Chains A and B, each alone.
Chain A
Amino acid sequence: MSVALESIASAVGRRYRALRTSRTLATFCANPLNVAGLSIVTAITIAAVIGPLVAPYDPTTQDLANRLQGPSLAHPFGTDQLGRDMLSRLLYGARLSLGIAVAVTGIRLVLGTAIGLLAGYAGGWIDEALMRLVDIQLAFPGLVLALVIAGILGPSLRNVMLALAVVGWASYARLVRGTVLATKERDFVRAARLMNVSRFRIATRHLLPNVAGPVVVLATLNMGTVILGTAGLSFIGLGAQPPTPEWGTMLADGRHHLRTAWWIANVPGVAIMCTVLGFTLLGDGLRDVLDPNHETTLEKPT
């Protein structure tokens, strides 16, 4: 027990020291865009966590007498067509949008990584079969397939998440497999094989960590794509059901007021844009640090 604790403590210490002493942080911070990305993502995450606590109003409470009010002290981002406070809706929406993005990305990542790892490591016909599966998934334009799936299952956030998750895992599988194949032939894996290291341990200890960098980068970039995908599906009418303050739905609803009450559409629009921008910048920054050889192939857009 104490040994385990000790080893954890030493691992943490090592990581911390590595972070402090290595150039990683310096490299990351050298580009102001990376720092901007990190700041945006941090801000959004904070908003998602504490948003409901600090939101001035309930996001669904209507006030028809005060509908379509422009930004003011009482309503910094104005009110919508039902007199709801945009700021509060935005804050509640942050949790939702981020939650969807995390969940979808998480499913894609786990599924894709598992498949990619298996394909890359097992090789042979398993690899062949899994890669064809990947090709098949990639053959469908992501949003088109997601639209069909979500459309058939019926509009709801859960179905949107499901549809987006189903269409996005293959990029991970491909990336992981590619990295595994490249890593597998690296001398340190060959050395491990000669040292009687078990297959499982090779996979988890030597292959996975080397795959992690590119995967994290892809996942970070993916967060943005998922948010955009959700917005697109919401626009088509397959997103959140009212009165859920989901950003994409808010933006889609607000488009009718673009000329008369610009804030209803533009506030969630800017929020989506900043979030996607933040994640993309952060992803780029992480790529500089985690994946200096740019092993990450460009993700397929969804």
Chain B
Amino acid sequence: MDTAPYLVHRFGTSLVVLAGVSVVTYGLLFLTPGDPAEVILSQQLDRQPSEAEIEAFRAEHGMDEPVPLQYADWLTDVLRGDLGTSYYSDASVTGLILDALPLTLELAAASVVVALALAIPTGVLSAVHRGTAIDRASQLGALVGVSMPNFWLGYLLILVFALTLGVLPVAGAGSYSQLVLPAITLGTGMAAVLTRLVRSSMLDVLDEGYLDTARSKGLRKRIVVYKHALRNALVPVVTILGVQLGALLNGAVVIEIVFQRPGLGMLLVDAVFERNYPVVQGITLFTAVAFVVTNLLVDLSYRYLDPRVELGGDPA
């Protein structure tokens, strides 16, 4: 199938989704019990605002307009890259996000590396030795990784590596050594998911006829496994990597708190606790958009990874 119409179609639906995402994000404000204007103002003033003040505030922020119009205004600003201003400081939300982002990205990237480095060899080993003790052990190991609440794992790792062995720093951000423990904490959870996936997709692939073809050519087992099998087995893994970005962000929230890394997650938690709605909306929107865009890219990279994929098939 032609790529161009597919791209247009895919972009089209992504836009629809993004529009929906923006509506949901904006709507979060209305979840708050009570009148948003009043809540915001009482946070800002640190006291109960008067009716007049609330009225003035509404007028100032266009909150006396009908909701769709308010939304439109907000969206217009968002499209210009302006996510609003924090209620508590006059910092722009976009600026706050951009400041916090590098730490989170750094963590996410390092976690993916940890996850892949753990998952691919373990998954392959497990699949190749299907049903043996090696397989069971690595499956169990992977599952233990995914079954532990990650903050607990984080504290245990700190206990062992920072406090007992003293080889890695406890917390903080900035240096590579400070990245190791958080990346391992977040990476193991993800590695567990990926190991299982690599294993099951390797198992599927190992049953495929074309591996017999490869073996019957006289290829070495290593080449059969790592060239012919793994290449095919990685297709679903890459798809999941896109989805795992969500998991990474989920994990980052908790792990940034554990390791005192002022990234997006920490920013979000603080903002939620302070009811700093522009920041909450900004981060929510930003992560969702990042997620949609990443998955779009992942979809497109299918074509390279799996030539069979006819773009446009539902990769559900």
Contact = CB atoms under 8 A, between A and B. Distances in A.
Q: Chain A at the B interface: mostly helix, strand, loop or mixed?
A: helix
Contact of A135 (B17, B136, B284): B17
Contacts of A140: 21, 24, 246, 284, 287-288, 291
A269 B21 contact: no
> Which of B149, B150, B200, B236 is the most central at the interface, judged by chain A CB atoms within 10 Å of its CB?
B149
Contact of B200 (A138, A148, A228, A294): A294
B173 interface: no
A180 to B, nearest CB: 11
Interface in B127-148: 136, 139-140, 143-144, 146-148
B16 interface: yes
Nearest to B20: A136
Given A151-B273, A177-B316, A280 B147 contact: yes
Interface residues of B, number: 59
Q: Chain B at the A interface: mostly helix, strand, loop or mixed?
A: helix
Contacts of A135: 13, 16-17, 20, 292
A28 to B, nearest CB: 15
Given A140-B291, A258-B159, A301-B247, A132 B17 contact: yes
B149 A232 contact: yes
A272 interface: yes
Interface in A231-250: 231-232, 235-237, 248
A252 B151 contact: yes
B21 A136 contact: yes
B275 interface: yes
Interface in B233-292: 236, 240, 243-247, 249-251, 253-254, 257, 268-269, 272-273, 275, 280, 283-284, 287-289, 291-292
B46 interface: no
B27 to A, nearest CB: 11
Given A152-B31, A294-B204, A277 B197 contact: no
A53 interface: no
B316 A139 contact: no
Given A132-B17, A139-B21, A153-B31, A147 B253 contact: yes
A69 interface: no
Interface in A61-116: none
A165 interface: no
A232 B149 CA distance: 7
Contacts of B287: 140-141, 144
Interface in A248-285: 248, 251-252, 255, 258-259, 265, 269, 272-274, 276-277, 280-281
Interface of B: 13, 16-18, 20-21, 24, 28, 31-33, 136, 139-140, 143-144, 146-152, 155-156, 159, 163, 193, 197, 200, 204, 236, 240, 243-247, 249-251, 253-254, 257, 268-269, 272-273, 275, 280, 283-284, 287-289, 291-292, 314, 316
* Nearest 5 CB-CB pairings of A with B: A151-B272, A143-B250, A136-B20, A276-B147, A141-B246
Interface of A: 32-33, 132-133, 135-136, 138-145, 147-149, 151-154, 174-175, 177-178, 181, 224, 228, 231-232, 235-237, 248, 251-252, 255, 258-259, 265, 269, 272-274, 276-277, 280-281, 294, 297-298, 300-302
24 contacts: A32-B136, A33-B139, A136-B24, A139-B289, A141-B245, A141-B288, A143-B251, A144-B249, A152-B275, A154-B33, A175-B316, A236-B257, A251-B151, A251-B152, A255-B152, A259-B159, A259-B163, A269-B152, A272-B147, A272-B152, A280-B147, A294-B200, A300-B243, A301-B243
